[in-house]
Amino acid sequence: KQEVTQIPAALSVPEGENLVLNCSFTDSAIYNLQWFRQDPGKGLTSLLLIQSSQREQTSGRLNASLDKSSGRSTLYIAASQPGDSATYLCAVLRNSGNTPLVFGKGTRLSVIA
Amino acid sequence: EPEVTQTPSHQVTQMGQEVILRCVPISNHLYFYWYRQILGQKVEFLVSFYNNEISEKSEIFDDQFSVERPDGSNFTLKIRSTKLEDSAMYFCASSELVAVELFFGSGTQLSVL
């Protein structure tokens, strides 16, 4: 059974700092991995999708990497801003067709001005 | 930009009552999903739906739950007799194809009293 773990559970950084959020998964047979942002009491906003054949994806100040063999992904946020404060979730899709996303519990990020 | 729309944003009901949560997926998407998130816990898969039938469902999705696509635009989740433990944020999602990026709605916060 696929398990997704995100460390740390919470992170507080000063504005402007670069930071890395970690995601690990137990079964490396994944089809893709998706990073989401969740604001308190709100929905999930898709940030980046990495296919299993890719090593990384970039969108603006965000860069996500994937090491499938070791079961790890990282989300790098450059030059953090207070508006980046949110919970960041990673989710993996198993390598067997129309199967559900398995989510981690998320990392709650606070960027202090 | 197209988005998944969910109504209502909040629903309060009494234990034992029936509730229907509504979703309008992105118009050219073919796959539809319901997930839920109990406060402080991971986002969990409930059900996936394609071509007017359930593709996959989790253990949570028991006989009290049902889904329907009553017309060309709406996708609904019905809980027949709500329990206290059904209190959660319910998210609808859709995707254009299988195993690609999922787009989530902003959720319906269900409170069962």
Is the pLDDT at A97 greater than 70? The verdict is no
Mean model confidence pLDDT for chain A: 93
Q: Report phi then psi at A84, rounded to 5.
A: -80, -10
Touching check for A102 and chain B: CB below 8 Å?
yes
The pLDDT, as a whole number, for residue A67 is 95
Q: Which residue has 């603006």 as its token pair?
A: A60
Nearest neighbour of A104 by CB, restricted to B31, B42, B99: B42
B103: left (phi over 0), alpha (psi -120 to 50) or beta: beta
Quote the tokens at residue B27: 């118009």
What does the alpha-carbon distance between residue B3 and residue B98 come to, in Å, rounded to a whole number? 18
The pLDDT, as a whole number, for residue B73 is 86
The reply to whether omega before B2 is within 30° of 0 (cis) is no
- SS3 at position B103: strand
Query: What are the C-alpha distances in Å from A18 to residues A76, A80, A81, A111, B30?
Result: 7, 6, 10, 11, 38
Query: What are the C-alpha distances in Å from A59 to residues A67, A77, B38?
Result: 18, 10, 30
Contacts of B105 in chain A (CB under 8 A): 43
| Among chain B residues, CA nearest to A97 | B99
The pLDDT, as a whole number, for residue A100 is 82
Nearest neighbour of B48 by CB, restricted to A49, A100, A106: A100
Half-sphere exposure of A35 (CA within 13 A, CB side): 28
Is the pLDDT at A36 greater than 90? The verdict is yes
The pLDDT, as a whole number, for residue A94 is 80
Is the pLDDT at A10 greater than 90? The verdict is yes
- Per residue of chain B (113 residues), what is the pLDDT tens digit? 789 999 999 999 999 999 999 999 999 899 999 999 999 899 999 999 998 999 999 999 999 999 999 887 899 999 999 999 999 999 999 999 877 889 999 999 999 99
The pLDDT, as a whole number, for residue A104 is 96
